[in-house]
Amino acid sequence: MTAKRFLFILFFVSTYQFGFSQTNTVESYYIPAVNGTKLAMDVYFPEDYKNKKLPVLFELTRYWRGKEDPKSGKPIASLNQLDKYFLDHDYILAKVDVRGTGASYGVRKAEYTPTEVKDAWYIVDWVVNQTWSDGNVGAYGTSYAGTTAELLCATQHPAIKAVIPGWSDFDVYESPSRPYGMLATSFIAPWSQYVDWLDQNSVENLGASVRRVGEDFPMDAIKEHENNTIVLEALTKAPYKDSKFGDFKFEELDPLHWKKEISESNIPMLVLTSWLDAGTAEGTLLRLQHFDNPQKVVMMPTSHGGGSHASPFLVSDKMVAPVPSVTEQLKLRLDFFDHYLKEKDKGVEAWPTIKYYNFGEESFKQSDIWPPKGQQRIQYFLDANGELNTSSSDEHLGMDEYLVDFSVSTGTNNRWTTQMGKHILNLDNRNAADSLMLTYTTAPLAEPLQITGTPVISLNLSSTHKEGGIFVYLEDVDPSGRSRYITEGGLLLEHRKLSKNDMFDKIPYHSFRKSDASPMSIDKIEEVSFKLHPTSILIKKGHSIRIAISGADKDTFDKVPTEGTPTFSIYRNKTNKSFLELPIVE
């Protein structure tokens, strides 16, 4: 598939513009926001709307609120299934091109900027003062718009009654900008190119034009976008969490920055996300534990956006329908908004705090607290002959060498590429990849083992190079020897220094700040500990647990170091222990 073809597909998948027939009334406006910057907004009304006041649902997007035929100027139907569902159930929709995008004015210096958050207050305030608004506002969205739905809470506008962030960002540096501190141009470069085409209204590459507001085409607005920050260039120049991305530091560009304001808003949230969607699961669980808002969480086993199943126990090389189904996901959202915006008792308070999918068992579990009751952390020690044992080694010199193999890959349909609209596939047989990595495996389990939470890896290692990256994959191995991907973690080794963070109790935390970064000392043993992405899986009786250690994921992350091939020495002896720590639930 050519890059242009891939981006063309992304244009429709990431914006979910599937061309539903447009019979709803739509009105377009320019709304003045911060410093009078005019933002484009389309307001859609239900089909049978007749001068009645209704609640308004926002989607604040940087992927165009609507599009039109570049030759005729006629609007192209761009509502998705979820949009139509809300309209059919008596909600008004307000779709907004955020600052510096689409038909909106302004220059875009970064993503999710504090200015963009403040803009939203003006938009909400304008809407609730219109004759068709009943004064109640909600927000929803997937991916970027899911994050802006949560950020709307930071405005603390009293009209906002509930939000539904779907598959949203939480700590933008760690996911998706620089996972593990590394650069992944395989998915950042296409996204950067795509949003630049959108901002410049590149009809040649997109096959459509941004929808205008009124009769005149917004050439002046698009001209202002010429000064927008190019995402890939900014990311390449910003290696640390306290680096500047455009005019702002990474630390200012996500919901985590607005923790106090969002918590104080007390706005209820329905958070939809997936175990295998980049780092959104971790962000969801941190929000649940540390933000005060009333929250209901559904943790799915799906691709980004919930469109297809991702469990490696059910999915191989072909798409499988998601659970919950798309229809069930629609109803869940509607019930939540009906409950809070229309005061219809849909029993939302009785929903579990978190409903989460359990791999291996292939069904949902639920809990009213996180971590679930009964969790304890158990260590499995790396040992001789590739074994993983619950008791540590008595050896004095135990050590394994691994020459980094830069051909190792999790493929092109993994937890990171799903953010670019791809299904998650081919994680059901990792044996070929395992053969290129350093692996440690338990004996077949005598009893089933329930893992739920955030695994941790702690390695005593040395390297022949100052630079390097390390990846650790947690896998299930069935009685036939077939290994399946469960989750992963990684770290650019210059970020190995541990820091204190109250949000990470018993979990190693890395600041990713410049002041904490340092090159490895060549051939010196150092303890390197880091978290894996959280998961929930039942390891069945007779199955084994495996970790696979690598220094590369060639189809996702940039090569580190750019020159040379490091050899890692992994120490597993009485003095220098290396272990996997698993969150086990009895």
Q: What are phi and psi of 411, to 5 degrees?
A: 85, -170
Please provide the distance, in angstroms rounded to a whole number, between the alpha carbons at the two ends of the chain. 47
- In the 8-state DSSP scheme, what is residue 373? T
pLDDT at residue 23, rounded to an integer: 73
Residue 7 domain flag: no
Question: E strands of 72-202, at which residues?
Answer: 75-76, 92-97, 133-142, 160-166
Q: Which of 7, 26, 6 minimizes the C-alpha distance to 66? A: 26
HSE-up (13 A, CA, CB side) for residue 355: 16
CA distance 540 to 129: 58
Residue 13 domain flag: no
Question: E strands of 237-302, at which residues?
Answer: 244-245, 248-249, 269-274, 295-300
Q: Which of 131, 59, 134, 47 minimizes the C-alpha distance to 93? A: 59
pLDDT at residue 24, rounded to an integer: 82
Instruction: Indicate if 54 and 83 belong to the same structural domain.
Output: yes
Residue 11 domain flag: no
Instruction: Indicate if 400 and 306 belong to the same structural domain.
Output: no
pLDDT at residue 166, rounded to an integer: 98
Instruction: Indicate if 199 and 310 belong to the same structural domain.
Output: yes
Instruction: Indicate if 288 and 318 belong to the same structural domain.
Output: yes
Q: Which of 426, 402, 404 minimizes the C-alpha distance to 415? A: 426
Instruction: Indicate if 172 and 232 belong to the same structural domain.
Output: yes
Does an H or E element contain 126, and which?
helix 114-128
Domain containing residue 84: 25-367
Which alpha helices (H) appear in 237-393, and where do they start and end? 259-265, 280-290, 326-341
Exposed, middle or buried: residue 325 (CB in 10 Å: 0-12, 13-18, 19+)? exposed
Q: Which of 447, 444, 472 minimizes the C-alpha distance to 457? A: 472
Residue 3 domain flag: no
CA distance 550 to 272: 31
Instruction: Indicate if 307 and 191 belong to the same structural domain.
Output: yes
Q: Which amino acid is at 510?
A: H
Token readout for 561 is 């170091």
CA distance 566 to 557: 16
Residue 17 domain flag: no
CATH assignment at residue 433: 2.60.120.260
Q: Block means of pLDDT (10 residues each) for the chain, length 586 residues?
A: 48 45 84 98 95 97 97 94 98 98 97 97 98 98 98 98 98 97 96 98 97 96 97 96 94 96 98 98 98 98 98 98 98 98 97 98 98 97 97 93 98 97 97 98 98 98 98 98 98 98 95 98 98 98 98 98 98 97 97
Token readout for 387 is 């074994």
DSSP 494-506: GG------TT-TT
In this structure, are residues 104 and 224 in contact, taking their beta carbons and an 8 Å threshold?
no
DSSP 525-552: -EEEEEEPPPEEEEEPTT-EEEEEEES-
Cβ atoms within 10 Å, residue 90: 15
Instruction: Indicate if 459 and 568 belong to the same structural domain.
Output: yes
Query: What is the pTM for the complete model shown?
Result: 0.96
pLDDT at residue 22, rounded to an integer: 62
Number of folded domains in the chain?
2
Domain end call among 367, 395, 416: 367
Helix-helix angle 3-15:185-199, to 10 degrees: 70
Residue 546 domain flag: yes
Domain end call among 338, 367, 396: 367
Kindly give the pairing relationship between strand 92-97 and strand 38-44.
Answer: antiparallel
CA distance 142 to 108: 21
Exposed, middle or buried: residue 521 (CB in 10 Å: 0-12, 13-18, 19+)? exposed
Token readout for 53 is 């006041």
Instruction: Indicate if 358 and 487 belong to the same structural domain.
Output: no
Domain end call among 334, 367, 400: 367
CA distance 580 to 508: 13
Instruction: Indicate if 119 and 195 belong to the same structural domain.
Output: yes
Residue 108 domain flag: yes
SS3 242: coil
pLDDT at residue 4, rounded to an integer: 54
Residue 266 domain flag: yes
Q: Which amino acid is at 16?
A: Y
pLDDT at residue 475, rounded to an integer: 99
CATH assignment at residue 253: 3.40.50.1820
Distances (CA, A) of 253 to 76, 241, 243, 480, 499: 32, 10, 12, 47, 21
In this structure, are residues 295 and 268 in contact, taking their beta carbons and an 8 Å threshold?
yes
Instruction: Indicate if 278 and 422 belong to the same structural domain.
Output: no
Q: Which of 40, 36, 37 minimizes the C-alpha distance to 28? A: 40
Instruction: Indicate if 321 and 180 belong to the same structural domain.
Output: yes
Instruction: Indicate if 460 and 560 belong to the same structural domain.
Output: yes
Q: Which of 496, 375, 383 minimizes the C-alpha distance to 439? A: 383
